[in-house]
Amino acid sequence: MEANRSTRAPQLAVVHGSDEVESDQFPDRLLDAGQVAEAIGGVSPDWVRRNVPWKIDLGHSTKRWYRRDVNRWIESRREGDRRVFK
């Protein structure tokens, strides 16, 4: 006799906000300009597009950054390293 099989799809959840930026669960997570601006604090997404290095160009107006690169850049700014990364 066959065991009962569940045909239900697994529950999925969408995560928004700064929790993504802080999580070590996804070190290679891609962030958009708004998420990077939130992580930096006090800057706009437009500022991020112009000034934050290592952006990935996914299209004409679609730019993304790896979370680990953003964290590395923020840390370099805290340490007084003013080199320009482009």
Helix 33-40 with 67-78: angle, nearest 10 deg: 30
Q: What is the reported pLDDT for 77?
A: 86
State both tokens at 65: 């950054």
State both tokens at 57: 């160009």
Q: Which residue has the tokens 């045909």?
A: 7
* Residue-wise pLDDT tens digits, 18-34: 544 555 666 688 999 99
Q: What is the reported pLDDT for 32?
A: 96
Q: What is the reported pLDDT for 15?
A: 52
| Cα gap 50→5, rounded to integer Å | 53
| Cα gap 6→8, rounded to integer Å | 6
Total count of residues recorded for the chain: 86
* Residue-wise pLDDT tens digits, 29-85: 899 999 999 999 999 999 999 999 999 999 998 999 999 999 999 998 887 755 554
Q: Please say if the pLDDT value at position 86 is more than 50.
A: no
